[in-house]
Amino acid sequence: MEQVNGESEPVDGLEWFGREVAAALEHKGATQRALAVATGYKEPYVSKVVNGKALASQHFADQCDCFFNTPGSFGRLLVRVSERGNPGWFVPYLQLEKESAKIEDYSTSFIMGILQTSEYAEAVYRAARPRESEDQIKALVELRLRRREILERPEPPILWVILHEAVLRTVVGNRGVMVGQLQHLAAMSAIPHVTLQVLPFAAGAPASGQSFNLLTQEDGATVLYSETAGRGFVNDSASDVRTWSDTYNRLRAAAESEADSLALIHSIMEEHAR
């Protein structure tokens, strides 16, 4: 168990949030049913949250703060729990992703998290974490899908994504999952601040065989994010960022145009649908 402020804290983030809700209910002398009525959620949902079997929604956390008169406490706890649902080395990337004015992604294996459908994300997690329970997988998927919120804010980041053709052809889950995922990509490509390009097999050897991201903040500062087995790295070295920015530009030049990329996505989607 970890120690925070001298108190024992559950390693499982869902359990942690649930215990805090249970403690608040006991302190208030209220029942789960009363909390369900006050928050507008069904009692089974509240029970799952209290027992650490489901991840609370942001709305539920906000309503808990209203019910328990704890301004912002459960909302802030939910943020910490959400971070805990990811490897510690990935949390710095998540913070940068939230604050970025521009995100440039190059993917060679999987579609980046904020563009994944729930079915695709579930298949990825099931392949990587075969020992996780249904509830644990569901919670991980919910955490991943929440990352989409940055694309829906009033001033969303510019998102430029280059996908190697192998990413689109790899059957993640099953072909039905891939059809849904590619339909989602096609829909996202219509959003003005999202640009999707496909680097086709025909382009030959790519400028990089490794996935990486370039994240640019409002002040223009750019960092490089990349991963190795079991580890992620945020690199703010000006020379490294410049080198990988040049690499990204070469990938961008070698990739299909937006229109041709969309046509290729539709073509591969039809192949998956057969």
108 and 234 co-located in one domain: yes
109 and 79 co-located in one domain: no
DSSP-derived secondary structure letter, 72: T
136 and 266 co-located in one domain: yes
pTM, rounded to two decimals: 0.71
Domain boundary among 30, 58, 84: 84
39 and 112 co-located in one domain: no
Domain boundary among 32, 66, 84: 84
In 176-221, which ranges are E strands? 194-199, 212-217
pLDDT tens track for 166-216: 999 999 999 999 999 999 999 999 999 999 999 999 999 999 999 999 999
Closest CA to 210 of 169, 173, 241, 251: 251
54 and 175 co-located in one domain: no
Would you mind telling me the total number of residues written for the chain in this entry? 274
User: What's the CA gap between 213 and 227, in Å, rounded?
Assistant: 10
124 and 256 co-located in one domain: yes
29 and 111 co-located in one domain: no
Q: 234-259 in b/e burial notation, b at 16+ Cβ within 10 A?
A: eeeeeeebeebeebbeebbebbbeee
15: CATH: 1.10.260.40
112 and 201 co-located in one domain: yes
72 is in which domain, residue-wise? 2-84
pLDDT score at 97: 83
254: CATH: 3.30.870
pLDDT score at 236: 83
Q: How far apart, in Å, are the Cα atoms of 46 and each of 9, 60, 140?
A: 21, 9, 18
148 and 76 co-located in one domain: no
pLDDT score at 84: 59
pLDDT score at 232: 73
187 and 80 co-located in one domain: no
Count of domains for the chain: 2
Domain boundary among 84, 115, 144: 84
| Runs of H (alpha helix) within the chain | 13-28, 32-39, 43-50, 58-68, 73-84, 91-99, 118-128, 134-146, 165-169, 175-188, 238-254, 258-273
Mean pLDDT by 10 residues, the chain (274 residues): 36 77 95 95 90 79 94 86 57 76 95 95 93 82 86 92 98 97 97 97 96 91 82 83 97 98 98 95
DSSP-derived secondary structure letter, 13: H
Closest CA to 141 of 172, 119, 164, 174: 119
13 and 123 co-located in one domain: no
144 and 208 co-located in one domain: yes
pLDDT score at 92: 65
